[in-house]
Copies of this chain bind each other. A is one copy, B any other.
Amino acid sequence: MTFQVFSELQYQVYSSTTFIFSIQASRSNSQVIIEESLVTEPLLAVEEISGVEGESRFIRLKANDNSQFTISYQAQVDIDYNTIHQRKLSDTVPVNKLDADVMPYLFPSRYCQSDKLQKLASKEFGNVETAYGKVAAITEWIYNNVEYISGTTNSSTSAYDTLTERVGVCRDFAHLGIALCRALTIPARYFTGYAYNLNPPDFHACFEAYIGGEWIFFDPTKLVPVNGLVKIANGRDAADAAVASIFGNASCTSMIVKCDCNDPDFKPYYFTNVENQKGLSYQ
């Protein structure tokens, strides 16, 4: 399935500022970039750097005092996510068999204080059978118990807050999902991407849990079709995978995000049923 993604961010820069953008589609076996382009207006020196943990791609640039600039990205991306069958999803990988590169996703992080949620996670989800069942139950619980309201949270809101205040946006939903998984010793990581049919259009955040040896996709917002995502980056949480990290003094003055499917036969698929244990992997 081929998707066409586009984003355009405009900034007013007050003093010399370095930007790190995470807006490019990632490259992996299941996600092939057919063509892409990144431009800035006016032309700025742009450097692409890879994340330590692999597929993520960052753009770094420096803008001068009292300047304005626009960064635009467009890509045509072929997505071939895997569907993982039920039998495999029953398997939990025990901690003593986890690969070293998966281990960091078991530990608490800035926005996912899993160390504080162990009793709660165990009480609420500990008795659900299979790792997939647990994560699906967490996803349903968040969907049913946290209200999605724009503008209610900010960049310092964490899973600890969301669990109590019960309100947030996609980023907060993802952080809570990750924290609850890790509290149950299930590795989980943040996922940002372009999402088909997201309304109003924006970048999207959700999460992946490590089950049966695969990173399986979950989205507690249920706002987008699970087969309609183009991955930008993974990270421990939003600290690692912000759309833009700004070191200096600048503000975003405009943002446009688009994600369309080129294929007229594309059938958006929404998870509606926990019992239907079919997992998708975007890796």
Chain B residues with Cβ below 8 Å from A106 are 245, 247
Chain B residues with Cβ below 8 Å from A120 are 145, 164-166
Q: Out of B96, B116, B239, which one reaches A109, CB within 8 Å?
A: B239
- Interface segment, one of A49-57, A70-78, A255-263: A49-57
Type the 1/0 row for A72-98, where 1 means its CB is closer than 8 Å to any CB of B.
000000000000000000000011100
Q: Which of A98-137 contact B (CB under 8 A)?
A: 100-101, 103-104, 106-110, 112-113, 115-117, 119-120, 123
Q: A51-B100, A156-B113 are in contact. Are A147 and B164 (CB under 8 A)?
A: no
Give chain B nearest CB distance to A243 CB in angstroms.
14
Report the Cα distance A107→B111, complex, angstroms. 12
Give chain B nearest CB distance to A158 CB in angstroms.
9
A283 interface hit (Cβ, 8 Å): no
Give chain B nearest CB distance to A143 CB in angstroms.
12
Report the Cα distance A204→B218, complex, angstroms. 39
Are A52 and B100 within 8 A (Cβ)? yes
Q: A109-B239, A155-B115 are in contact. Are A18 and B52 (CB under 8 A)?
A: no
A62 interface hit (Cβ, 8 Å): yes
Report the Cα distance A233→B213, complex, angstroms. 27
Report the Cα distance A51→B240, complex, angstroms. 18
Report the Cα distance A177→B20, complex, angstroms. 24
Q: Out of B47, B107, B116, B240, which one reaches A156, CB within 8 Å?
A: B116
A185 interface hit (Cβ, 8 Å): yes
Chain B residues with Cβ below 8 Å from A18 are 94-96
Are A185 and B247 within 8 A (Cβ)? yes
A138 interface hit (Cβ, 8 Å): no
A160 interface hit (Cβ, 8 Å): yes
Type the 1/0 row for A130-171, where 1 means its CB is closer than 8 Å to any CB of B.
000000000000000101000000011000100111110000
Chain B residues with Cβ below 8 Å from A60 are 95-96
Q: 7 A-B Cβ contacts within 8 A?
A: A49-B103, A52-B101, A62-B96, A108-B110, A115-B156, A116-B156, A163-B163
Knowing that A18-B96, A107-B239 are A-B contacts, what are 16 other residue pairs whose CB atoms are under 8 Å apart, sorted by A's residue number? Answer: A18-B94, A52-B53, A52-B101, A52-B104, A58-B103, A61-B96, A108-B110, A108-B239, A109-B110, A113-B156, A115-B239, A116-B165, A117-B164, A120-B165, A164-B164, A185-B247
